[in-house]
Copies of this chain bind each other. A is one copy, B any other.
Amino acid sequence: MDKLYVIKIGGNIIDDDAKLASFLKDFSLIQEKKILVHGGGKLATRLAEELGIEQKLLDGRRITDAETLKIVTMVYAGYINKNIIAALQANECNAIGLSGADGDCILAHKRIHPGMDYGFVGDIDVINTKLITTLLEENISIVFAPITHDQQGQLLNTNADTIAQEIAKAMSSNYYVELIYAFEKNGVLLDADDDLSVISELKPVFYKELKDNKKIFAGMIPKLDNAFTALSNGVKKVVIGKAENINQLISGNSGTVITNE
């Protein structure tokens, strides 16, 4: 099976033009098949502010109302996605930018939650791997914006971490998939205040031990639980580390490498 990298980048890279340009240059040099999933960044929030659209929070969670959905569709699927594609083309990496509505790649439904309406937020039902596979086999890299659809004509704002995880799982039947979460830290840290305390290898027994002893930063637990779920569903390796070190994350010389055995 061919190797496939599914790489997720977050707002801290997207908001920094120089870092993004450098990351995309590195990404272009990856010879294996590759999918990039990007999050949002601050541009959507800034645009909403400029337009006087209030960010609605409910119990501390952000609500995607119709106006906010319009903005994230413009910013994520339009501005950010197309500028990433133009930059990749300039680096001689042939790439295509998609939302989950394109080619029906990511089918989702509006989140159902007892007692809470998140608005136009999508939870993923199905990744349709056919078009994704066709494009990869044509040596076209794919860049997903965190927007999905419900097959009823509704676009939905969807968590980029989850998109990366679901794509990685679904593509595992055809590829040897490595899932890489590129973020602002060097990896999973033993001490949240010490950037050098990176856990280089994380397996289920050690993870349980660390979690039981409350040695994992609470904010990392959902990410790590997701990582182990991905590994239980066909993904071969999950790597968490700094976007600036993408080459070393791929070669296994940086970040936290998470495997099931």
Contacts and interface: CB of A to CB of B under 8 A. Distances in A.
Contacts of A77: 77-78, 81-82
> Range of interface residues on chain A?
35 or more
A191 B103 CA distance: 43
A121 B155 CA distance: 29
Contact of A89 (B130, B134, B153): B153
A74 interface: yes
Nearest to A85: B101
A70 interface: yes
A86 B51 contact: no
Contact of A79 (B74, B134, B152): B74
A153 B82 CA distance: 10
Interface of A: 50-51, 70, 73-79, 81-83, 85-87, 89-90, 94-99, 101-104, 130-131, 134, 138, 140, 147, 149, 151-155
9 contacts: A74-B75, A74-B79, A75-B78, A77-B77, A77-B78, A78-B78, A86-B149, A89-B153, A103-B140
